[in-house]
Amino acid sequence: MTTSQKAVPQRAENAAGVDIVLDSVTKRYPGQKAAAVDDFSLTINAGEIVVFVGPSGCGKTTTMRMINRLIEPTSGSIFIGGKDALSIPANELRRSIGYSIQQAGLFPHMTIAQNVSMVPSLLKWDKKKTAARTEEMLHLVGLDPAIYLNRFPRQLSGGQQQRVGVARALAADPPVLLMDEPFGAVDPITRASLQDELIRLHAEIGTTIVFVTHDFSEAVKLGDKIAVLGDRSTVEQYDTPEAILANPATEMVAGFVGGGALLQQLGLVRVRDVDLQQRPTAHENDPVDDLARAIDATDDNWGIILDDRDRPVRWVRDHHLRNARSLRDNGVPADLVSMSSTLQQALEAILSTGCVSAIVTGKNGRYEGIVTIETLMAAIRDIRVETGPDAEAREPE
Ligand SMILES: Nc1ncnc2c1ncn2[C@@H]1O[C@H](COP(=O)(O)OP(=O)(O)OP(=O)(O)O)[C@@H](O)[C@H]1O
């Protein structure tokens, strides 16, 4: 195991989500000649995160919104958990599908408690159950109910509002969650930590998630599968991030990810050639509280335990440390890459374990830092600039 937000806790075996099947779905907006979504077919397996990624205007949002019928398809069928979504009254359908959008879409005049409890209230859950669920949801997204329940959205940061948006979308325990660029409006650091939160949350609840983004690195990080969409929601490729990175099916997909040649080029760059990130570390005999505090002070929620020769042995998440008396035997054994590993090896380590980062060791196996999927995406971007079609024509600096 390499270190990972994505791998911990392990995905629920009995996924709570349901299959979604879109069969020849077409949407033609009134007055439009061409369809916005043309004959779209895709099966989304229960409990998976599937990311729709593609250029602006290609039809991602339209496709997603047809699943909860915020947009009615012109033709085609949609089955959710085997039920014909088009034959269920739209309001009823929407209560069974969580929906989270950019800037959270919270009601500004309602408290956080009222926002989160909206769907349970509509479903006429009793007050006690609703209140308990609201608190549970805030805990789940990392917000202390004692502090936030009675606040209004304007009294929260953008990232906190986004967390409340996710809590609201999941409050009634829907088997399906639709997320339309939910993290598009927050800064990159908050965004990375919201992505990590989503991975953790999904592993706990097993909901089927359909996620729309423009950002391929976000798709790689979050997706069990990625659907790369072209014009009118044509499915250019639908596969795991690993398979898409290794074998882009079309030129358009290759344009998004850089192609197989690029992967080989990743094999030419060493881990020592990129900027490593850091996470809090502690030795096995150090006080638990010190590491817990150091982790708390970061935007991520994990750290690394070293042996007495500074070699990484395990990594821990904040929850591993709650009530722990010692760092010894705490956490998850770490798989490692070295400073001389290639970025391709680091990528393989990350992808083969479904992780989002790998711990790096240097001389004598000592801890040096971590490589994340973002580091690799940045390296890919650099390689593209250096070797892209315009590279030769460029003036030397
Ligand atoms: N209500 C509408 N009426 C008419 N045309 C629309 C409507 N909504 C979207 N469209 C058109 O349908 C096409 C697909 O739009 P859609 O919003 O689904 O794309 P998208 O891939 O989600 O785009 P973006 O990434 O920019 O949000 C676009 O050409 C858009 O102009």
Residue from 51, 58, 233 to probe ligand 1 pocket by mutation (most atoms less than 8 Å from CB): 58
Q: How far apart are the CA of 36 and the centre of ligand 1, in A?
A: 7
Residue 210 has pLDDT above 90, yes or no: yes
Q: At what angle do helices 158-170 and 127-140 cross, to 10 degrees?
A: 130
**Which phi and psi (to 5°) does residue 216 adopt?**
-65, -35
- pTM of structure: 0.67
Determine which residue's CA is closest to atom 24 belonging to ligand 1. 56
Torsion over CA: 212, 213, 217, 221 (sign) = negative
Residue ranges of E strands in the chain? 20-27, 37-44, 49-53, 75-80, 83-84, 97-101, 176-180, 208-213, 225-229, 235-239, 281-283, 302-306, 312-317, 332-333, 336-338, 357-361, 367-372
Calculate the alpha carbon distances from 49 to 58, 115, 171, 222 in Å. 20, 25, 18, 7
What is the SS3 assignment for 106?
A: coil
What letter would DSSP give residue 64? H
> Checking DSSP bridges between strand 235-239 and strand 225-229, what pairing results, if any?
antiparallel
CA distance 390 to 130: 58
| pLDDT tens digits for range 33-71 | 889 999 999 999 999 999 999 988 899 999 999 999 999
Q: How far apart are the CA of 75 and the centre of ligand 1, in A?
A: 17
CA distance 141 to 135: 10
| pLDDT tens digits for range 96-131 | 898 888 766 788 999 999 999 988 888 888 889 899
ipTM of the complex: 0.97
What letter would DSSP give residue 270? B
User: Which residues contact ligand 1 via a Cβ below 6 A?
Assistant: 29, 32, 36, 54, 56-62, 214
In this prediction, residue 263 carries a pLDDT of 64
CA distance 183 to 228: 19
**Mind giving me the DSSP string for 119-184?**
HHHHTT--HHHHHHHHHHHHHHTT--HHHHTT--GGGS-HHHHHHHHHHHHHTT--SEEEEESTTT
Long-range interactions of 82-90: CB distance < 8 A, separation 24+: 82/18, 82/19
Residues 330-352, mean pLDDT to the nearest whole number: 81
What is the SS3 assignment for 345?
A: helix
Residue 383 has pLDDT above 50, yes or no: yes
In this prediction, residue 227 carries a pLDDT of 96
